[in-house]
């Protein structure tokens, strides 16, 4: 009998979860998420779920923000850059004298020193990634960037057409963080077990598969969150009859010799 990964949260008995947290990696599933108030002064009347944080050992912050019409997302703390990616609903980004409306798949990169507000006309569920910005000598702080993933061209990863990689942010020295969308055709796999200095935060957007973390293999599905510390062994295979897709963060252009 085949196992339908989309039914896993419903068939698991009480007291059992697929979630697991270790010092080098973590799998966090929707059944274990606990919403709480996002703190002032950076959020007003907003609840959310902190998924990945320094309390876990990470060097960045990843969380969901659940906005209503009363909610306001204010500029991040001094020195912090922020990327927001809309999962559900609509998000208004008030930047300068203008306003941009983001729908699911829309994103905004908001660099340090940027004044802005985030609001929802009704509701919005937003993935937020925050990181202390490390400026590289000879480069300028990046400008704000607002767009939609559909505007970004995907390319075959290492020449494999079954693996399509889409960069939301430009791959330039001024950027010290990357946020990408990775899509796998059914049966597509990473070509190797990866071990590298970059740290990852990941959220499954669609489909299902199996992720290797360290020396363990985990079934994963849409809504799952994964953290991978530097040098964590990692590998993925997409399973099922439809593509698997995830959004992920990594630190870049700063730590190769650190």
The listed CATH number (3.30.930.10, 3.40.1400.10, 3.40.50.300, 2.60.120.10) that belongs to domain 34-148: 2.60.120.10
In this prediction, residues 39-52 reach a mean pLDDT of 97
Q: Which residue has the tokens 């699911």?
A: 104
Q: Token digits for 130?
A: 């925050």
Termini Cα distance of the chain: 49
What angle is formed at CA 32 by the lines to CA 178 and CA 213, rounded to 5 degrees?
Answer: 50
pLDDT at 140: 93
Residue 5 pLDDT exceeds 60: no
Pairing state between β 106-110 and 155-157: unpaired
CATH class of 1-32+152-258: mainly beta
Exposed, middle or buried, 140 (CB in 10 Å: 0-12/13-18/19+)? exposed
Pairing state between β 72-74 and 123-132: unpaired
pLDDT at 4: 52
In this prediction, residues 220-243 reach a mean pLDDT of 97
Task: Answer yes or no: are the C-beta atoms of 52 and 200 closer than 8 Å.
Answer: no
Task: Answer yes or no: are the C-beta atoms of 73 and 43 closer than 8 Å.
Answer: yes
* CA–CA distances in Å: residue 121 to residues 83, 84, 103, 206, 212: 20, 16, 11, 26, 40
pTM of the predicted protein model: 0.93
Cα separation, 256 vs 258, in Å, equals: 6
Q: Could you report the per-residue pLDDT of 212-226, keeping only the tens digit for each?
A: 999 999 999 999 999
Q: Say yes or no: do domains 1-32+152-258 and 34-148 share a fold.
A: yes
Residue 247 pLDDT exceeds 70: yes
Q: Could you report the per-residue pLDDT of 88-104, keeping only the tens digit for each?
A: 999 999 998 899 999 99
Q: How confident is the model at residue 3 (pLDDT cuts 50, 70, 90)?
A: very low
Beta bridge partners of 123: 68
Q: Could you report the per-residue pLDDT of 144-167, keeping only the tens digit for each?
A: 999 999 999 999 999 999 999 999
Give the chain's length.
258
Domain ranges for the chain: 1-32+152-258, 34-148
């Amino acid at each position: 009998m085949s196992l339908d990964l989309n039914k896993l949260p419903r068939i698991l008995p009480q007291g059992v979860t697929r979630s697991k947290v270790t010092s080098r990696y973590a799998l966090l599933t929707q059944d274990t998420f606990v919403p709480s108030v996002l703190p002032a002064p950076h959020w007003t009347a907003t609840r959310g779920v902190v998924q990945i944080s320094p309390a876990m050992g990470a060097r960045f912050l990843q969380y969901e923000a659940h906005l209503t019409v009363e909610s306001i997302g204010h500029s991040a703390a001094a020195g912090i850059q922020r990327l927001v990616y809309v999962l559900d609903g609509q998000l208004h980004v008030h930047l300068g004298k203008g306003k941009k409306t983001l729908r699911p798949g829309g994103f905004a990169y908001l660099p340090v020193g940027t004044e802005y507000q985030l609001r929802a006309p009704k509701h919005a569920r937003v993935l937020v990634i925050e990181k202390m910005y490390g400026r590289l000598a000879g480069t300028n702080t990046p400008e704000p960037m607002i767009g939609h993933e559909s505007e970004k061209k995907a390319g075959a990863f290492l020449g494999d057409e079954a693996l399509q990689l889409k960069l939301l942010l430009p791959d330039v020295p001024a950027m010290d963080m990357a946020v990408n969308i990775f899509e796998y055709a059914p049966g597509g796999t990473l070509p190797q077990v990866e071990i590298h200095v970059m740290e990852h935060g990941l959220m499954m957007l669609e489909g299902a598969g199996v992720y290797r973390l360290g020396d363990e293999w985990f079934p994963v599905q849409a809504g799952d969150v994964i953290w991978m510390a530097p040098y964590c062994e990692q590998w993925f295979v997409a399973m099922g009859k439809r593509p698997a897709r995830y959004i992920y963060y990594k630190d870049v252009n700063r730590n190769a010799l650190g």
